[in-house]
Amino acid sequence: MLIIGVVGAGTMGSGIAQVAIAAGETVKLFDPVAEASLRGRDMIKKNLNFLVDKKKLTSDESSDIFSRLDIINSLSDLASCDLVIEAIVENESVKKDLFKNLESIVSPEVILATNTSSISITALSNELEYPGRLVGMHFFNPAPRMKLIEVVKGLRTSDAHIDYIAKLVKRWGKAPVITKSTPGFIVNRVARPFYGEALRVLMEFGTDHASLDNIIRECGGFPLGPCQLMDLIGLDVNLSVTQSVYEATAFDPRYAPSLLQQELVRAGKLGRKSGEGFYTYPVNDSDLDIINTIKKDELGSYRVRFIKNASIESLIARLTAAGINLVETARDPNIATLALTDGRTATQRAYDESISNLVLIDLCMNFKTTQRIAVSHSDQCDPIAVTQIIDALKSTGCKVTVIQDIAGMIVARTVAMLANEAADLVHQRITTPNEVDMAMTLGTGYPIGPLLWADQIGLKNISEILKHLYEHYGSSRYRTSPLIQRKSITNQKFHGAQ
């Protein structure tokens, strides 16, 4: 049994303390504001009582766990600790001052840990007498429920300390991912395109925020849409993380903050906590789906050409089962043509490939089971052809959302950019494919790790989407990761057999 010190008794600090005492450790919890320490203690007690009510713990087990919590009144009371975890305000200078004070209290072999979500571990340790003792332990909120912990290594952090902390958090029932200290670490860096691409789509009036969220959730399989999630996190908090990563990466265009998000924050529209963000709370759900224009028994008279792609084979099977007359080739140049997006706008692709009536469909997590499909069409497309394809898709039982003709549509550009960001972390040896995928599924609830998803789509397809986005926008924001370029050329994968 270890003695763990936790500094900061807010939601995160008390959550970390609960994790440690539940794992059998003794915890000394300190907050410079005495009332905060008591609130933290009461929060832990309330959480344990909830687990008793849910039959997850017995009353005796809860009492035994709670008995290992010690509220202390001075930093000096942490002198006997084996490990001290900081969970205070996200401010570099304040954290540095705390660690210098702690170093004068605890023995040299004691590990100091910070729960920072984005501040450089190297920077936090550079004024310590023993900089190798400082480790990042980024818990996710709520700490008792979230499995993931990012174990972060600064430039001078001891490898032995990293290994020790990784083994310790496993014993606590958590899933550690080891990462070098890089802007945003793994989760907050890889997740930036999830918000950034959504904001760009909205800036281009590609669709409205509710439809965008519907598409990301129901087509992409994500638990929440980007606008819902930004409202939940707080638009100001989300913007602050983006700004931090942007500045820390020497203003890389990939992480450039959105003017739209900045305006919402300036207006005080911060999301749920202010009552209004992208949505006004309480939310009045609305669905902006296209209405069927014909009877199902007329669908058999439609002929739809499709451009073959392995990703949509199950959708083609659904259309065939619904009685749609599908052809791969057609002499009639005016026939409605359906294709999976490759990153080009429908208008550009129709021009490049001399297709009169082109309708694109967005990527779906699973075309066999999806209940929603997003489509866009070229400017040259006959409205009748658009209607035919919409009704054909609706015949499978899917809702259809029509968006503007934007490059990469919504899910495809988002997934490609998530995979691109994850690939760069692997390329730069900040982390591994397994760890980045585990971090994104456990830390953000993504339906699948971005690199495994890229493997399934095919790295050549991901590379093609990114190439077309880069050509369309002319921005280095969409530059393809060198690792994706290499693997796509040799038909390799990030996971499993090549």
Domain boundaries 296-402, CATH class:
alpha beta
* CA atoms 228, 231, 236, 237: torsion sign: negative
Question: Start-end ranges of CATH 3.30.750.190 in the chain?
Answer: 296-402
Tell me the DSSP string of 188-237: HHHTHHHHHHHHHHHHTTSS-HHHHHHIIIIIT--SS-HHHHHHHH-HHH
**Known catalytic membership, residue 188:** yes
Question: Start-end ranges of CATH 3.40.50.720 in the chain?
Answer: 3-181
Provide the phi-psi class of 429: left if phi over 0, else alpha when psi is between -120 and 50, else beta: left
The predicted-structure confidence for 294-323, as pLDDT tens digits, reads as follows: 344 444 456 788 998 999 999 999 999 999
Q: Give the whole-angstrom CA distance, residue 401 versus residue 379.
A: 17
**Known catalytic membership, residue 427:** no
Q: Using pLDDT thresholds of 50, 70 and 90, give the confidence band for residue 213.
A: very high
The predicted-structure confidence for 242-300, as pLDDT tens digits, reads as follows: 999 999 999 999 999 999 999 999 999 999 999 999 999 998 765 445 444 434 444 44
Q: Which two tokens stand for residue 486?
A: 């290499």
**Known catalytic membership, residue 209:** no
Cβ-proximal residues to 159 (8 Å cutoff; 6+ apart), any chain: 153
Question: Start-end ranges of CATH 1.10.1040.50 in the chain?
Answer: 188-274, 411-489
In the CATH scheme, what architecture does the domain 3-181 have?
A: 3-Layer(aba) Sandwich (3.40)
Q: Using pLDDT thresholds of 50, 70 and 90, give the confidence band for residue 330.
A: low
Domain boundaries 188-274, CATH class:
mainly alpha
pLDDT value of residue 283: 83
Q: Give the whole-angstrom CA distance, residue 186 versus residue 443.
A: 10
The predicted-structure confidence for 410-422, as pLDDT tens digits, reads as follows: 999 999 999 999 9
pTM (predicted TM-score) = 0.93
CA distances from 213 to 76, 146, 375, 490 (A): 49, 24, 15, 35
Residue in 138, 161, 377, 468 annotated catalytic: 138
Residue in 14, 125, 181, 188 annotated catalytic: 188
Residue in 150, 197, 218, 435 annotated catalytic: 150
**Known catalytic membership, residue 14:** no
Region 411-489: CATH code:
1.10.1040.50
Q: Are 312 and 361 in contact (CB under 8 A)?
A: yes
